[in-house]
Amino acid sequence: ASTLRLVLGDQLNSQHHWYKEVDDSVVYLLAELRQETDYAQHHIQKVCAFFAAMEEFSAVLSSKGHRVMHLTLDSTSDFNGLNGLLDHVISELGANNFHYQLPDEYRLREQLQHFVNSRDIVSEAFESEHFFVSDYELGGYFTAAKAHRMEAFYRKMRQRFDILMCDGQPVGAKWNFDQSNRQKLKSSDLADIPAPLIFSNNVSEILRRIERHNLATIGEASSSLLWPINRGQALSLLDYFCQHCLPRFGQFQDAMTGSSEFAWSLYHSRISFALNVKILSPKEVIDTAIHHYEGNRTSIDIAQIEGFVRQILGWREFVRGIYWANMPSYTELNVLGATRSLPKWFWTGNTKMRCQQAAIEQSLKFAYAHHIQRLMITGNFSLIAGVQPNEVDDWYLGIYIDALEWVELPNTRGMSQFADGGLVASKAYAASGNYVNKMSDYCKTCFYQVKQVSGHGACPLNSLYWHFMNRHSEAFSGNLRNRMVYANWRKKTTAEQEAILTQAEQYLQDLDEL
């Protein structure tokens, strides 16, 4: 009897129990597939990173004595998707068992479930053994169509997994250090920003393959891929983060600048790709960071390590729970009824708004933007301009190196676009130019005037913000967190209000020209 085990491109978990023993009757299949390169228009570096990481993983398995079938697009493109390929490989091997790990994307989980139900082969689905909360436990924490709050979930996780806890209490006597974090970078801080650790993986062969198969991609390519594609590189990146970025991670977590060549990376870990393809496990990332914190308490305070742990143990596990509780209907949610198209400059960065230009150009160049750029720059713009969430989702799902639907969708449609009506966020993350000015130095070199709300050269974010709050006042004014906002609006004279709304209407008519 022989067994075929499918390993998807985001299941490169070398610690999985599958690999504990070498068994000659088991064949591992890793395959580049058109269905995966084509379900979104991906950044070219993202395709390169996935293909390169799959190649590396296959080589590691082979070197340990496992039987591996690694197929490139050259040998899979004639098959009808994953199902067609599986049928072929199963019959070629004469396999009578088929094993797979539960996919993290609904699309693939459905496809494989359907595949095994419709084929006459003994099949088994396994956990991917990656997350803190297993697939079978998620339902105990999350309910469909119900609003959940990250903070409550996060505290349960801290207690359950005994992370940063001391005698049942949170280390530092507080669960949340957001108040001491979230600072702006002063010009005197700029020289200290660490140069990012980047790699130079040769992907010229993969680039040729992408061209040969005419894959439609976005973004800038380079034959030297800077993202980590194997465990050695991912562990070095984690170590580099602990040494150089963790000491100020929380402090500058929300900061943005246009005045440093390292503005794109700042104090962020950039491990999301390695985590999401499971080269690194969330547990080892947290353990490593905490170990480092414990050995360096003079340079790393609790606010920094807590801020980091919160992202991985809190946010990352949380959005996954929201995703599985609400799929597949989550992909359709649009409670604010947004209908506009994404402006053309989302694909070029060619806009006079300095903040948007910086976030988009950087995303096209590196397939990366950090959280606040995604949430409060491009996300905020799309929200207040009323862009159809499907368009926003497609853009985010394509452009980022770490974009996989289970994590992209709740962050984009939920947290940033409020299209789920508050299942993820307690209020819409809408902001005017004032926020951008507070957290960055972009406004200093912008064509638009951040202090101006209407009239020639007024920052579009200002009037669009008021237009957004105004058109959704029925939905939002009851929320206590918005009380000040609406009080401020009412303080304006009717003439002021009209000038602002007229200004916004003008901008909305021609978003492409901003």
Chosen residue from 106, 330, 400, 466 binding ligand FAD by CB under 6 A = 400
Chosen residue from 61, 286, 403, 419 binding ligand FAD by CB under 6 A = 403
Q: Are 419 and 413 in contact (CB under 8 A)?
A: yes
Examine residue 76 and tell whether it contacts ligand FAD (CB under 6 A): no
Chosen residue from 416, 462, 463, 503 binding ligand FAD by CB under 6 A = 416
Beta carbon nearer to ligand FAD, 357 or 412: 412
Examine residue 42 and tell whether it contacts ligand FAD (CB under 6 A): no
Beta carbon nearer to ligand FAD, 184 or 371: 371
Residue 398 falls in which region: left (phi positive, over 0), alpha (psi -120 to 50) or beta = alpha
DSSP secondary structure string, 49-78?
A: HHHHHHHHHHHHHHHTT-EEEEE-HHHHTT
Number of residues that bind ligand FAD (CB under 6 A): 27
Identify the CA nearest to 235 among candidates 195, 281, 201, 267. Answer: 281
Examine residue 362 and tell whether it contacts ligand FAD (CB under 6 A): no
Identify the CA nearest to 328 among candidates 10, 107, 40, 104. Answer: 107
Beta carbon nearer to ligand FAD, 73 or 266: 266
Examine residue 381 and tell whether it contacts ligand FAD (CB under 6 A): no
Among positions 245-304, residues that touch ligand FAD (CB under 6 A) are 268-272, 275-276
Beta carbon nearer to ligand FAD, 315 or 345: 315
Chosen residue from 157, 319, 387, 500 binding ligand FAD by CB under 6 A = 319
Amino acid making up residue 257: T
Beta carbon nearer to ligand FAD, 311 or 362: 311
Chosen residue from 385, 415, 458, 514 binding ligand FAD by CB under 6 A = 415
Residue 349 falls in which region: left (phi positive, over 0), alpha (psi -120 to 50) or beta = left
**Spatial separation of the C-alpha atoms in residues 119 and 125, rounded to whole Å:** 14
Q: Which two tokens stand for residue 353?
A: 């708004």
Examine residue 315 and tell whether it contacts ligand FAD (CB under 6 A): yes
**Spatial separation of the C-alpha atoms in residues 140 and 292, rounded to whole Å:** 33
Q: Are 279 and 288 in contact (CB under 8 A)?
A: no
- Please state, as a whole number, how many other Cβ atoms lie within 10 Å of the Cβ of residue 339: 11
Stretch that binds ligand FAD, among 44-52, 105-113, 227-235, 402-410 (CB under 6 A): 402-410
Examine residue 402 and tell whether it contacts ligand FAD (CB under 6 A): yes
Q: Are 285 and 312 in contact (CB under 8 A)?
A: yes
**Spatial separation of the C-alpha atoms in residues 278 and 141, rounded to whole Å:** 23
Chosen residue from 233, 311, 356, 388 binding ligand FAD by CB under 6 A = 311
* Interface mask toward ligand FAD for 127-166; x: CB under 6 A: ----------------------------------------
**Spatial separation of the C-alpha atoms in residues 118 and 83, rounded to whole Å:** 11
Binding site for ligand FAD (CB under 6 A): 268-272, 275-276, 311-312, 315-316, 319, 370-371, 374-375, 379, 396, 400, 402-403, 407-408, 411-412, 415-416
